[in-house]
Structure formats: C-alpha cells, structure tokens
Amino acid sequence: MVSELTSTVTLTGIAGHKLELPTGLFINNQFVPSKTHNTLETLNPATGEQLAVISAASLEDVDLAVQHAKAAFKSWRKSHGPVRQKLLLKLADLIERDADELATLDALDAGKIFGESRHMDVPNAIEHLRYFAGWADKIDGKSLRIPNGFAWTQREPIGVCATIVPWNAPLMITIWKLAPAITAGNVLIIKTAELTPLYGIKLAQLVLEAGFPAGVIQILTGLGTVTGKAMSQHMEISKLAFTGSGTVGRQIMIEAARSNLKKVTLELGGKSPSIIFDDADLENAVFWAVIGITAHNGQICVAGSRLYVQKGIYDKFVEKFREMSLKAVAGDPLLQDSTKGPVISKVQHEKILGHIQKGVEQGAKLLYGGKDVEGKGNFVENTAFVDVGEEMSMMQEEIFGPVAAITKFETEEEVIEKANSTSYGLSSAVFTNDVSRAQRVSQALEAGQVTVNAWAMLNPNTPFGGVKESGFGRDMGEDALDGWTVLKTVKIAILPGKL
C-alpha cells in the first residue's frame, strides 16, 4: 500500500550520508503538490523496497506549468547570451559540487553502479552544460545576396518546449536536452521517467539555487500515460523531445499531429552491432565488447548487443569474452565491490528472462548465464549466446538487458549486410587495425554513429542520434541546436534612388 505523501523524504546514501528531497512538482520555482493529489511510488530495484512517495503531475499540473512557461518566455527570449551562459555554467558547477548525491540517486533509483554514474554520467552532464554554455552568444545566421536588396537569416528560440526522458541515464540525458534548449533561449518543461524520478527533484533544487528565473525550467514527476500524454497533446507546447521506446515515440508523433503539429525529435533505441575483424587488437576488442553489453546491464540504447566476429579469431574472442563477462560481481550499487547492479524493475527483469528463454527455444546456443540472480532485487546474470542466426529474435529485437548474441562471419561484404539487417540504426562499432577497412565499413553501416576500436564515445561536441526506426534529430554538438531553434529569413528591398 502506498503511504501518504509528505512534504519531504530522507534517503540514505554513501557512508550513511542523508539526502533530503521535497516531494512536490517543481513549477514556477516552487515545489508544489499535484492539484489532483496524485502520487507516484518509486522503488529501489536492488531490494524492491519503497524509496519514496512523490507527487504525480496531472493534466491540470501540466497546463499550469505551460502557463508559467509562456509568461517566462516573454522576457527569457530577450535575455542576452552571456546571461544564459552564466546560469548554465553555475548549474554545471552545482552539479559538480553535488556529484556524489546525484550518483547516489542513480544508484538508489536506477540501480546504476555508483562509480559508473559518478565517473561517467555526472561528468558527461557537466561537460554538456559547459559546452552549450559556450554557444549561448554564438547562435548566428547568414547574410544573403538577393536582387535589388539584401537578406539575412536568424535563429530564434521555439518557445515553450518539453522533454520526456528515460530511466536508464536520467540526469545525463536530461542535460542533453536542457543544455541546448536553454542555450537557444527556450523555456523547458521536463518530465522525468516514472521509474527514476528522484534525480529530477535534486536537479530542480540546483536549478533554483543557480538562479534561473521562475518558469524557465520546470520539472514534473508522473506517469507517462498521464503526464507524458498531456504534454504530447498540449496545444501550447511547441516542441517535444523524447528518448525512449519506439512504441511511445510513434504515439507521440500521432499526438503531435492531432494537436498543434508541435516539432518532435525522437531517439528510440537500437540493436547496435559490434564488428570485430581478424586484424583487430583482440584484448581491446574484448574489453569494449564486454563493456558495450554489460554497462548498466545492457540497459543502454547504444548497447552493443550483436557481436559479429571474423572466423579467424572467433574461438579466441568467445573464450576471452566469456572470461571477462563472468568476473562481474552483482550487488548493492552503492557498495564499492559491486560491479553489476539490478535491472530497473520486476517487469524488465521478467522481460529479459523471457527473451533468454525464447533464444533457447529458437535454437541459439547458450554460452553462459541466462538465469535470475537469487535475492530480493531485480538481478539477471550476464548472458551470451553463440552461433546465433540472423532470423532469431535476439538479433532483431531490443532486449535492453545484459544479453549478447555472438556470431561469426567471413567477409566484409557479408558482415555489412548482416549488420544492416535490422530496423534500427542508432550506433555501431568496428574493430580493425586497417584504416581503409575502417573507413569503408563506417560508410556502409546504416547508423547515426560509428565508433572505431572503441564503444559509444559520447562527447558533447559530436552529434548523436539515429536513422531508420532509431528516430530522428540530434543531441550533442552544434547540430543539436537545430532542434531547438527556428530559422527566420528577413529580406529588405533597396528602393531605387532618384537622379
């Protein structure tokens, strides 16, 4: 039974450190309860125990946030670049100061290993804020020549924008949206994932401390079917950025079309291939391939879940991959000895085990793993299948778990065809010491990102996004600003002078 809502909740983190968080919605720089008194319970995936009961935003709350955002935009859109820059840099400094607390919330709420969040996700968020802060006074247009006059283009903010973020890397992905949106002069309403809302409350505290004007950044916790739906249908939200499942992404596009044709950008996951050629540095390839499918239990949109290994090194690779994968120590994500946390929820836990069972039934050879890890939490063993056929579901469907599908190939042409055989196209990795081959294969792969001799490599100045059913639009880099601005053309006619 869900307990009654209180004004604050106290959590215990690293070394017994206490974190006190408000439980309200962050609207117009205040923490307020939902107008309908709706609540949301969040659980610790490592134990199944309740962490907190917080407010859940209703349609009325979304509308209230939109009205405050509209009012704030009138002055915020006129703010000078250095003003926005200073605030974003201040927020980055505050996140850096409270990095331990934010990583603790990732561990408690998302089941992410504390060190992984502390040394990867949180620094990535800080880097993104500082990178985009540098763009705040550099968003310029072009001057153009036209007959009998002159013209120019200028990039302007869209206005009231919103983003719906996922549960797997909540702080990091939120900042991917927040940094360019605010840099461009928009106001932003953020909906946290219903499974990992607590980081958003902490972030709201830092937004307030940084000194952002009321209504510029607002953070709502709630259900996707209620809060998210209200945002996608709202007639006065002009842009919605979403990272999550393809099913929800399609529904958002439908709602955008039925409402006000709001601008939409989508990042919808992937089924990313890692291709290891005979001439690759084997130790390096194994290291990155294991990280690519076990980091945060494979609950990452760029997870390298399909491993294509050339025939000459296949057996050596499989043995080394198995050896390294089985070194994982499952346990409390806050403990230093733990290298593997739980998956996010009981539903996801059962879904992953279902995919594993389906692989066995379809005839894939189980190399190791495949079982539940005993205990109260949502733990699943690192798992790998070998000799997997392209037609099998684990080669086509996004599992979002620590499940690797390994198969061998002989020729470059063969592996390119196999790598491109899914409906997804988010990320991919190529391992080879042949520079020419790396260039050829990178060009041939149908993916928004290709890394060579490494996995993922998410940098604030390099665009990230997908093709095909992995979505459209870009996070990161200068190109991300296109998704948060509109292009206006101004033309001035030069009237003929009198003699």
Catalytic residue numbers, as ranges: 267
Q: Can you count the helices (H) and strands (E) in the chain?
A: 15, 22
Whole-Å CA distances, 247 to 137, 254, 471: 38, 11, 11
Strand partners, 405: 306, 385
Cα separation of the two ends of the chain: 88
Q: What's the maximum distance between 2 C-alpha atoms anywhere in the chain?
A: 93
Whole-Å CA distances, 311 to 274, 275, 389, 403, 406: 15, 12, 15, 21, 12
- The distance of Cα 121 from the centroid of its chain, to the nearest Å, equals 10
CA separation for the pair 290, 305 (Å, rounded): 10
What are the tokens at 130? Answer: 């500082």
- The distance of Cα 243 from the centroid of its chain, to the nearest Å, equals 6
CA-only gyration radius of the chain, Å: 24
Which candidate, 319, 67, 65, 340, places its Cα nearest to that of 204? Answer: 65
Which candidate, 156, 152, 149, 222, places its Cα nearest to that of 189? Answer: 222
Q: Supply angle C-alpha 462, 468, 469, rounded to 5.
A: 105
Secondary structure of residue 348 in the 3-state scheme:
helix
User: Which amino acid is residue 262, in one-letter code?
Assistant: K
Secondary structure of residue 332 in the 3-state scheme:
coil
The CA dihedral of 383, 242, 345, 23, to the nearest 10 degrees, is 150
Secondary structure of residue 9 in the 3-state scheme:
strand
Cβ-in-10-Å burial (0-12, 13-18, 19+) of 499 comes to exposed
CA separation for the pair 204, 62 (Å, rounded): 16
Secondary structure of residue 229 in the 3-state scheme:
helix
In the chain, % helix, strand, coil (3-state, to 5) comes to 40, 25, 35
Q: How many CB atoms lie within 10 A of CB 223?
A: 16
User: Could you give the residue ranges of the DSSP H alpha helices within 260-313?
Assistant: 282-294
CA separation for the pair 284, 204 (Å, rounded): 40
Strand partners, 383: 403
- The distance of Cα 210 from the centroid of its chain, to the nearest Å, equals 24
CA separation for the pair 463, 455 (Å, rounded): 15
